[in-house]
């Protein structure tokens, strides 16, 4: 069923109107595909450098291909359908292996919505915890305030890759892989409505808000990941209107700097007799540094088993 649905999606996407390259827009980045340089503009359009020449060369390589087919096959893979079909895993929450900066060193253009696939805010509530570093650890999503029993919906069209209980802190967790290659995580749910391999539409109810797992109050923990690497959902969602800034998203390596830091981070597990001064001497850093990256003070009482980030 999934293969058939994916094929239908590809057919729809292949014949949608092609993008219009804009010469007047500001260039914000460059990428490369099949040996040709691609210019990316600030209005989310693109074109090849020496565009007419490149198109002519591509046509020579495949004389039977139409212009639309060439553009679709040689462009930046806007729908990331290859990513959609990779490493399908309904048992492990991280299908690709999590935190690998090597996977995200290329600029990628993602189609967030198309004529056939939409977007819906999972829950329109107050955002009270943002994406980013806090107290030595990294918060990989945003937290949205809700009440137990409030309906949570799917952000984009896709297929449920994981629906189950996670002992790592997520509690009741649903992961949906979308046809544009992104994955969204919905954590701390009190109830799950969907099952693995179930096809989902944007805005369709998938569960109820809760406070399961490592949660101190009812809220929805919402993550967006590309090949298991999280990035800020507010890079494309307007937190005031709960709408998309654009129907396309340009993912650049700079948006994943935290992934590099996470992969290189070192932690120390506090043991009996440990002090901040002793830990700082052991790892060659200052006490003030330890306090700053862990959000503590020099007078904080360390707990046996507590993890402190040291680098």
Would you state the pLDDT for residue 74? 42
Domains of the chain: 116-232 (2.70.70.10), 266-309 (3.10.350.10)
Would you state the pLDDT for residue 7? 40
Write the pLDDT tens digit of every residue in 241-255.
Answer: 999 998 888 888 888
Task: Give the C-alpha separation, 149 to 208, whole Å.
Answer: 5
Write the pLDDT tens digit of every residue in 190-233.
Answer: 999 999 989 899 999 999 999 999 898 999 999 999 989 999 99
Parts of the chain with a pLDDT under 70: 1-25, 28-35, 38, 40-46, 58-85, 99, 101, 135-136, 264-265, 292-295, 311
Would you state the pLDDT for residue 34? 57
3-class DSSP assignment, residue 88: coil
Would you state the pLDDT for residue 219? 97
Would you state the pLDDT for residue 184? 98
Q: Is 95 left (phi over 0), alpha (psi -120 to 50) or beta?
A: alpha
Using alpha carbons, list the distances in angstroms from residue 158 to 6, 118, 161, 205, 214: 10, 10, 9, 13, 27
Task: Give the C-alpha separation, 22 to 33, whole Å.
Answer: 19
3-class DSSP assignment, residue 142: strand
Would you state the pLDDT for residue 116? 79
Q: What is the CA radius of gyration of the chain?
A: 22
């Amino acid at each position: 069923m999934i293969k058939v649905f994916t094929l239908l999606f590809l057919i729809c996407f292949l014949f949608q109107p092609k993008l219009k390259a804009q010469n007047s827009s500001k260039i914000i980045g460059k990428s490369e595909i099949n040996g040709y340089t691609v210019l990316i503009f600030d209005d989310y359009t693109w074109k090849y450098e020496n565009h007419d020449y490149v198109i002519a060369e591509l046509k020579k390589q495949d004389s039977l291909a139409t212009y639309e087919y060439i553009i679709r096959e040689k462009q930046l893979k806007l729908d990331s359908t290859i990513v959609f079909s990779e490493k399908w895993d309904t048992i492990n929450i991280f299908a690709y292996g999590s935190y690998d900066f090597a996977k995200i060193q290329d600029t990628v253009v993602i189609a967030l919505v198309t004529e056939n696939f939409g977007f819906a805010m999972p829950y329109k509530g107050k955002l009270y915890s943002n994406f980013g570093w806090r107290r030595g650890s990294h918060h990989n999503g945003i937290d949205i305030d809700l009440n137990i029993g409030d309906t949570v919906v799917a952000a984009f069209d896709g297929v449920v890759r994981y629906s189950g209980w996670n002992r790592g802190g997520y509690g009741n967790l649903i992961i949906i892989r979308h046809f544009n290659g992104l994955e969204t995580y919905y954590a701390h749910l009190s109830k799950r409505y969907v099952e693995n391999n179930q096809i989902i539409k944007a805005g369709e109810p998938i569960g109820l808000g809760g406070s399961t797992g490592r949660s101190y109050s009812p809220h929805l923990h919402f993550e967006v990941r590309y090949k298991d690497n999280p990035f800020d959902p507010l890079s494309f969602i307007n937190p005031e209107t709960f709408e998309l800034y654009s129907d396309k998203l340009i993912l650049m390596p700079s948006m994943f700097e935290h992934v590099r830091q996470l992969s290189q981070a070192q932690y120390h597990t506090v043991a009996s007799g440990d002090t901040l001064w002793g830990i700082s001497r052991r790892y060659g850093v200052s006490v003030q540094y330890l306090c700053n990256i862990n959000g503590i003070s020099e007078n904080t009482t360390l707990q046996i088993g507590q993890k402190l980030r040291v680098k």
